[in-house]
A and B are shown apart, each in its own frame.
Chain A
Amino acid sequence: MSSVSDWEATSNPVKENRAGNIGKAVDRYEGPLKVTGTAPYAYEVEPPSPPAYGVLLSASIAHGRISNVDTAAAEASPGVHLVWTYKNVPAQGPRPARYDFFTPSPRPALESERVHFFGQQVAIVVADTLENAQAAAALVKLSFETEPQSVIFHDHFDEAVQPPGESDTEIGDFEAAFAAAPVKIDDNWRTPLQNHCQMEPCATTAWWEGEQLTVHTSVQMVRFAQSSLAETLMIPHKSVRLLTRYVGGGFGGKGSFYEDLVLASLAARELGRPVKVAFSRQQMMHGTVHRPATEVRVRLGATAEGKLTAMSLMTTTHCDRRGNFTEHASNFARSLYAAPNRLTGHQLVRLDLPVASAMRAPGEASGTLSLEVAMDELAEKLGMDPVELRILNEPPTDPETGKPFSIRQLVRCMREGAQLFGWDRRNPKPGQVRQGRWLIGFGMAAAIRGNFLLPAKCSFTVDAEGVITVKQGMTDIGTGTYTVLAQIAAETLGVPLGDVRVEIGDSELPPAPGSGGQFGAATAGSAALDAGMNLRKAIAEIAVADLASPLFGGPSEDITFQDGVIAISNRSERLSDLIRRNRPEGLTAEGEIRPAADAGKWSSHTYGAHYVEVAVDTVTGEVRTRRMLGVFAAGRILNWKTARSQLTGGMIWGVGSALTEGNSVDPHYGSLINQDLAGYLVPVQADIGEIEAIMLDEVDDKANPMGIKGVGELGISGAGAAVANAIYNACGARVRDYPITPDKLLAALEAL
């Protein structure tokens, strides 16, 4: 097993970056297909013969059972091939008592009469056309018997328990230190249920050839979905080939898979023809997963000079009764600021709501909306600048574990951001800058998001044309995976970027964990680098042993790879010539990455600082984000263009979380009241003003062999808090119940 010191000590082509492919603002590899509409997403793949169409039906109660099923009219409807409910769906593998999102296990669809949440899929109609399937679906008569339900989070706090296997972490004596602190903050912040709202609804096209199943679906984790599907269908893993080449957004919501995958597969087997099934937009809201609501109590105790003496984040959150997901909104605080006395933990309420799971930056996205506002409140109480307060409490080592940081440039992010943004123009007194009926304010917040590396494999093949093909069971959900893998391959093998092909999103390729937790680039990329290095070795061995090669005799360790040419000093030939002579069928090498045995010795995160200017309409309570600046430190950047897009995208998610996003739960039906894109307000073009993301030069040699880290989830972390702080600076109103909608803001303004 490799170690961090090996990574630090060993140079490699990515670190050396001689051809300059690393960091370069390269256009997206698959971009030409996407801008021409020719990248086939799951529902658009052409099956071998014309498909039948499946339409799902969802439960209209939150808790209870299906009491009666009448499918006669639907079955008699034109073009209908089958109607399935729990009564007649084919047998599937049993659902484990508690499922989780990383261990493959059966996920049977329509498994019983039990209804666990509003919007659970309870029937499917498959017909020859989409129109016939939709019409027949309306004829399925389902009756439900309701049972007592718990759906309103704040009504069930008394049922909160510690998540299984967890405990609070306490350092020092928090309660005593907090009681003794001369300056204190003690407030609660609420965040609502949020929905991923990927633009592409979940969809599957499935067909069988004999005992072999092929599915094209839209998921983030290839191997997880493929293995779980095989176990659900009770067939050997090797009988399932799962492809997910283009994914129209994931954000955590496609980390798992849903009934479209299982039922399309089953129906295709039953009918002996391809079947396509997609979720409707409304089914996406209920029937996939959401970010659960949180209530976070933040307590800060400080000296009169601003040194934190006590810090606590206690989160209460919820999940469904069968799941085991906890929104760890307190965890990030364990590594952010120094304070000798600390207490953090989580409490979980189980509700009859749809399934809770990860959404972009789980933990940090919710948690920073409280702590980073509490720090703003503390700064005001102390009469300090919020940037200076944070710098004063910058820890020399991880404040909870005492571990050294792998690298931490948070202070530099804050200082450079302050200067670029013009933070010195901020009037610390709220409500002082007026332009007509608008009040203008500045706000800032720190950003932190964990850094992860998971095991992955990859293969590289060089063919007789000198073209390198990267193969990996990885996904690109808009993250830029195709592009950065191509850049790593070009740099490692010394070939032009145009001579690299990337094949991902296929369970038959070397496995990688997929996209999530901003671990994708580091994980997939490190495995790719290893495969590239192994291919270099294999090429070198062939070259020095080939009498016809100018490189014959070596030494093989001196071979350079540049512009498609391999050379030892002034002896050289084209890589393609060597391969054509020796391996006309192509030469393949495999590689892998595993977390280093000693990786746990360091505290490893990505960091940043957000600066925001907002305008608040004092008449309507409308908030406009005029300017946003994020300065980030996230290791070596593989592609300046795609990384910047990930970061600004995340920052815009922060605006949504602060101002507009949230699912309201209907107390009677247990449904999400706003279940479409007209009711659930994601940011649109008019909501976003000037925005820029800047990435500091950084290398984190302890993170992985490339010294890179992820950026996909850093941008959202802290961004919403900066918006909230800017609103306070503009108008003097604090709203601690997100989103900060005009009604809440007007009420707060009136109460001033």
Chain B
Amino acid sequence: MKTTITVNGESRALDVDPRTTLLDALRETLHLTGTKKGCDHGQCGACTVLVNGTRINSCLSLAVMHDGDAVTTIEGVGTVEKLAPIQQAFLTEDAFQCGYCTPGQICSALGMLQEVADNWPSQETEDLMGSIRLTDDELRERMSGNICRCSAYPQIVAAIRAVSGRPA
């Protein structure tokens, strides 16, 4: 099926099998392999990308559902020559080991920070009326959809902190 998706700011005309997930379209059709397949079931978060600024598991979504959408993958966040601040923070804080969950963690963190800025509550949010303070508990709750089996969790908290600033 003909589908046009804006990927990392570039309009991409695709002719994809209607069964193709957004994840497989990115990886196999567009050769953007930074987005990872960890479980193909929406359980691990390795495939997290931003769709119109919101984080989703790209394995749980068909490519043809995204006609006209703007998708940001890890390749659109920064490059080796010009790392985005969050990528530099992951490097500096050693917020990964094997690296396989890392693109998903980074995309998820970007989406999460926007959700906090937009005052979306979480289970950890105590005051639903005020503006959200990104406490460590808030941060950990909101990043729990991204599994890191190497368990770089404390380093991931530190990396996200480095770009978000300490809570007031």
- Looking at the assembled complex, report how far the CB atom of A271 sits from the nearest CB atom of chain B, in whole angstroms: 17
Known contacts A41-B36, A477-B98, then 7 further A-B pairs from the complex at CB < 8 Å, ordered by chain A residue: A35-B87, A43-B37, A199-B148, A199-B149, A684-B146, A685-B140, A686-B140
In the complex, residue of chain B having the shortest beta-carbon distance to the beta carbon of A278 = B37
Would B41 and A678 count as touching, CB distance under 8 A? yes
A648 in contact with B151 given A28-B94, A37-B34, A246-B99 (CB within 8 Å): yes
Of B31, B94, B156, the contact of A685 (CB 8 Å cutoff): B156
What 0/1 pattern do residues 79 to 107 of A give for CB contact below 8 A with B? 00000000000000000000000000000
Q: Which B residues from 94 to 108 make CB contacts under 8 A with A?
A: 94, 96-103, 106
B36 contact set on A, CB distance < 8 A? 37, 41, 199-200, 248
Q: Which B residues from 6 to 65 make CB contacts under 8 A with A?
A: 17, 19-20, 24, 27-28, 31-41, 43-44, 46
Q: How many A residues are at the interface, by size bracket?
A: 35 or more
Q: Which A residues from 248 to 295 make CB contacts under 8 A with B?
A: 248-251, 278, 280-281
Q: How far is the CA of A251 from the CA of B100 in the complex (A)?
A: 14
Of A134, A684, A691, the contact of B154 (CB 8 Å cutoff): A691
| In the complex, A198 has a CB within 8 A of chain B | yes
- Looking at the assembled complex, report how far the CB atom of B66 sits from the nearest CB atom of chain A, in whole angstroms: 17
| In the complex, A15 has a CB within 8 A of chain B | no
Q: Which B residues from 52 to 93 make CB contacts under 8 A with A?
A: 73-75, 77-80, 83, 87-88, 90-92
Would A37 and B144 count as touching, CB distance under 8 A? no
Would B20 and A131 count as touching, CB distance under 8 A? yes
Show 8 A/B contacts (Cβ-Cβ < 8 Å), sorted by A: A35-B103, A36-B79, A37-B74, A246-B99, A281-B40, A645-B94, A649-B152, A684-B144
- Looking at the assembled complex, report how far the CB atom of B123 sits from the nearest CB atom of chain A, in whole angstroms: 9
Would A281 and B38 count as touching, CB distance under 8 A? yes
| In the complex, B4 has a CB within 8 A of chain A | no
B98 contact set on A, CB distance < 8 A? 198-200, 246-250, 477-478
Would A36 and B147 count as touching, CB distance under 8 A? no
Q: How far is the CA of A677 from the CA of B27 in the complex (A)?
A: 22
B94 contact set on A, CB distance < 8 A? 27-28, 641-642, 644-645
| In the complex, A180 has a CB within 8 A of chain B | no
Would B99 and A129 count as touching, CB distance under 8 A? no
Q: Which B residues from 113 to 168 make CB contacts under 8 A with A?
A: 137, 139-141, 143-157
| In the complex, A738 has a CB within 8 A of chain B | no
In the complex, residue of chain B having the shortest beta-carbon distance to the beta carbon of A476 = B98
B96 contact set on A, CB distance < 8 A? 28, 31, 34-35, 478
- Looking at the assembled complex, report how far the CB atom of B28 sits from the nearest CB atom of chain A, in whole angstroms: 6
| In the complex, A652 has a CB within 8 A of chain B | yes
Would B91 and A35 count as touching, CB distance under 8 A? yes
In the complex, residue of chain A having the shortest beta-carbon distance to the beta carbon of B32 = A37
Would B152 and A32 count as touching, CB distance under 8 A? no
| In the complex, A201 has a CB within 8 A of chain B | yes
Would A36 and B74 count as touching, CB distance under 8 A? yes
A686 in contact with B141 given A36-B79, A36-B83, A130-B28 (CB within 8 Å): yes
| In the complex, A599 has a CB within 8 A of chain B | no
Would A645 and B155 count as touching, CB distance under 8 A? yes
Would A201 and B38 count as touching, CB distance under 8 A? yes
| In the complex, A749 has a CB within 8 A of chain B | no
B148 contact set on A, CB distance < 8 A? 199, 685
Would B34 and A684 count as touching, CB distance under 8 A? no
Would B17 and A129 count as touching, CB distance under 8 A? yes
A30 contact set on B, CB distance < 8 A? 99
- Looking at the assembled complex, report how far the CB atom of A244 sits from the nearest CB atom of chain B, in whole angstroms: 12
Q: How far is the CA of A278 from the CA of B106 in the complex (A)?
A: 24
Of B19, B40, B75, B145, the contact of A37 (CB 8 Å cutoff): B75
Q: How far is the CA of A750 from the CA of B102 in the complex (A)?
A: 43
Q: Which A residues from 167 to 215 make CB contacts under 8 A with B?
A: 196-201
A28 contact set on B, CB distance < 8 A? 91, 94, 96
In the complex, residue of chain A having the shortest beta-carbon distance to the beta carbon of B75 = A37
In the complex, residue of chain A having the shortest beta-carbon distance to the beta carbon of B142 = A685
| In the complex, A19 has a CB within 8 A of chain B | no
| In the complex, A717 has a CB within 8 A of chain B | no
B153 contact set on A, CB distance < 8 A? 652, 683-685, 688, 691
Q: How far is the CA of A44 from the CA of B34 in the complex (A)?
A: 9
B146 contact set on A, CB distance < 8 A? 684-685
Would A32 and B39 count as touching, CB distance under 8 A? no
| In the complex, A546 has a CB within 8 A of chain B | no
